[in-house]
C-alpha cells in the first residue's frame, strides 16, 4: 500500500514505514492476517482525528479492528504520553465502530512489553513482539530483538530542546504567534534565530498558518500539545535537571514557600494541589535562580536517590492562571506522563480535562 507524506491529515513516510514493517512482522510471527483497512482512510470522518490508521486483523473468520497510534520511539519517559494519546483517540471514535487502540512502534523491550500487558495496552512492533487480548485473539510475544540498533531518527528542529521552549511559550501564551520574533524569543528565553526556524518548521508541519496582514495563527493545538508532551521528557527536561535531593522529612513541602525563591511546584506535588487526587511520591521543583538559599532554608541535602528533583525554570514569562505557586498545567501534565506510572497518567488526564482542554480548544 502506498502512503503519502503527512500534511494536515496524512501519514509521515517514517510512520508509514514503521506501520508496514510492524504489520509484516506480526503476520510472520503469528501467521494471522493483518492489514490497513482499505475501506477507511486517515482523512475520512469515520476515523478519529488523531488516529494514524485503522488496522484490520482477521482471526478465525472474525475481523477485529484497531485504531493505530504510531510512535517512532517508545521509552519509559514517552510511554505516558503515548498511552494518553491512545486513550484519547479511542474515546473520540464513533459509537458505531468501537475499536480499541493499538500502539505501533519499532521496538518494545521485554520490560516495556510487560508494562503494556499489565495496563492492557495492545501493541505490535517491527520485530514481531506483540500483545493483543481481544477474544477470540490472545497474543503475547516478547523478547524478539532487532537485528540492528533501531535508529531514533532526528525529529524536526521544533521538537529539539530550544524548539520545545518556543512551542511551550506559544502554547502557554495564546496569540503569541502573532508577536514579533524579538518578543517571542524573549518570552521563550531562546536566541532570536531559533524563533525563525521553529516557526518555519511549525508552518511546514501545519501547526502555524500565515494569514498575511492578519499575522500568524497557531492551529492543530491539541495535536501540537501532545507532540510537545511526548518530546519534552527526553529532549528538554533532562537538560534542566539541577539534581536530586532529600528533605528533612516527608512533609516538609507542605509548609514551604517557594515563591520566596522564584520557584514553582511541578509534577506530582502540583497535581496533588490541583486535583486533591494524587498522593505524591516525588517532589518536583522548578526554580529560576541558584538553589543554595532554598536548600539552606528547608534543610534539603544532596542525595542522588532522594525524592526531591529540582529543575531549572526554562521560560521567561509569568503563567496567567489561578495558581501562581504551580508551574503551568501543560508542564504538570507532561511531568506526570513522563513517569509512565498508571496512576499518574490517570491524574494527567484529569489535569488535561480541567485545565488544558479549554486552552487548545477546537481549531
In-domain check, residue 21: yes
The CATH number assigned to the domain holding 161 equals 1.10.10.10
Give the mean model confidence (pLDDT) for residues 178-183: 94
Are residue 178 and residue 255 in the same domain, yes or no? no
In-domain check, residue 362: no
Are residue 17 and residue 136 in the same domain, yes or no? yes
Whether 231 and 159 have beta carbons less than 8 Å apart is answered as yes
Domain containing 212 equals: 157-219
250 C-beta neighbours (distance < 10 Å), count: 11
Q: Which residue, of 113, 141, 169, is where some domain finishes?
A: 141
- Higher pLDDT: 150 or 227? It is 227
Cell match 510512520: residue?
Answer: 15
**pLDDT band, residue 6 (cuts 50/70/90):** very low
Give the mean model confidence (pLDDT) for residues 222-238: 90
Of the listed ranges 137-151, 264-278, 293-307, 335-349, the one predicted with least confidence: 137-151
Are residue 29 and residue 82 in the same domain, yes or no? yes
Q: Which residue, of 141, 165, 188, is where some domain finishes?
A: 141
Give the mean model confidence (pLDDT) for residues 129-158: 81
How far apart CA 267 and CA 215 sit, in angstroms, is 35
User: How does pLDDT run across 33-52, given as a tens digit for each residue?
Assistant: 999 977 655 444 444 545 68
In-domain check, residue 345: yes
Q: In the numeric block, which cell numbers belong to residue 140?
A: 503475547
In-domain check, residue 6: no
Give the mean model confidence (pLDDT) for residues 151-156: 58
Are residue 259 and residue 318 in the same domain, yes or no? yes
How far apart CA 176 and CA 183 sit, in angstroms, is 8
Are residue 301 and residue 238 in the same domain, yes or no? yes
Q: Which residue, of 80, 108, 141, is where some domain finishes?
A: 141
HSE of 194, CA atoms in CB hemisphere, 13 A = 21
Are residue 270 and residue 351 in the same domain, yes or no? yes
How does the average pLDDT of the chain come out, rounded? 85
Q: Output the pTM of the full model.
A: 0.72
In-domain check, residue 8: no
**pLDDT band, residue 152 (cuts 50/70/90):** low
Whether 35 and 60 have beta carbons less than 8 Å apart is answered as no
Are residue 69 and residue 182 in the same domain, yes or no? no
Whether 55 and 68 have beta carbons less than 8 Å apart is answered as yes
Are residue 132 and residue 175 in the same domain, yes or no? no
How far apart CA 11 and CA 104 sit, in angstroms, is 13
pLDDT at 154: 54
Total number of domains constituting the chain: 3
In-domain check, residue 5: no
Are residue 130 and residue 202 in the same domain, yes or no? no
How far apart CA 251 and CA 77 sit, in angstroms, is 27
Q: DSSP per residue over 133-194, as a string?
A: EETTEEEEE-----SSPPP--PPPGGGSHHHHHHHHHHHHSTTGGGS-HHHHHHHHTS-HHH
Residue 95 has pLDDT above 50, yes or no: no
pLDDT at 150: 55
List C-alpha distances in Å: 35 to 62, 89, 139, 277.
14, 19, 17, 41
Amino acid at each position: 500500500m502506498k502512503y503519502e507524506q503527512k500534511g494536515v491529515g496524512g501519514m509521515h513516510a517514517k510512520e508509514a514505514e514503521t506501520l508496514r514493517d510492524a504489520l509484516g512482522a506480526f503476520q510472520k510471527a503469528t501467521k494471522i492476517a493483518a492489514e490497513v483497512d482499505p475501506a477507511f482512510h486517515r482523512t475520512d470522518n469515520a476515523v478519529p482525528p488523531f488516529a494514524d490508521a485503522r488496522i484490520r486483523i482477521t482471526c478465525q473468520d472474525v475481523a477485529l479492528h484497531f485504531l493505530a497510534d504510531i510512535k517512532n520511539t517508545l521509552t519509559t519517559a514517552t510511554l505516558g504520553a503515548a498511552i494518553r494519546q491512545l486513550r484519547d483517540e479511542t474515546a473520540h471514535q464513533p459509537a458505531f465502530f468501537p475499536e480499541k487502540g493499538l500502539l505501533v512502534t519499532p521496538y518494545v523491550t521485554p520490560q516495556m512489553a510487560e508494562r503494556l500487558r499489565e495496563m492492557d495496552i495492545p501493541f505490535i512492533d517491527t520485530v514481531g513482539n506483540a500483545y493483543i487480548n481481544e477474544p477470540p485473539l490472545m497474543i503475547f510475544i516478547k523478547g524478539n530483538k532487532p537485528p540492528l540498533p533501531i535508529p531514533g531518527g532526528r525529529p524536526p528542529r521544533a521538537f529539539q530542546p530550544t524548539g520545545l521552549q518556543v512551542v511551550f511559550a506559544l502554547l502557554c501564551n495564546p496569540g503569541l504567534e502573532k508577536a514579533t520574533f524579538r518578543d517571542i524569543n524573549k518570552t521563550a528565553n531562546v536566541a532570536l534565530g531559533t524563533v525563525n526556524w521553529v516557526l518555519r518548521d511549525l508552518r511546514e508541519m501545519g501547526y502555524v498558518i500565515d494569514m498575511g496582514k492578519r499575522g500568524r495563527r497557531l492551529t492543530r493545538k491539541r495535536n501540537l500539545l501532545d507532540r510537545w508532551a511526548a518530546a519534552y521528557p527526553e529532549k528538554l527536561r533532562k537538560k534542566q535537571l539541577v539534581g536530586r535531593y532529600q528533605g528533612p522529612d516527608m512533609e516538609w513541602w507542605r509548609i514551604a514557600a517557594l515563591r520566596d525563591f522564584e520557584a514553582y511546584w511541578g509534577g506530582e506535588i502540583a497535581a496533588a494541589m490541583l486535583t486533591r487526587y494524587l498522593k505524591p511520591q516525588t517532589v518536583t521543583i522548578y526554580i529560576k535562580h541558584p538553589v543554595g538559599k532554598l536548600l539552606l532554608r528547608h534543610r534539603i541535602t544532596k542525595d542522588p536517590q532522594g525524592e526531591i528533583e529540582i529543575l531549572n525554570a526554562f521560560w521567561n514569562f509569568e503563567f496567567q492562571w489561578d495558581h501562581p505557586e504551580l508551574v503551568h498545567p501543560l508542564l504538570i501534565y507532561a511531568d506526570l506522563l513522563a513517569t509512565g506510572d498508571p496512576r499518574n497518567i490517570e491524574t494527567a488526564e484529569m489535569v488535561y480535562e480541567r485545565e488544558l482542554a479549554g486552552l487548545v480548544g477546537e481549531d
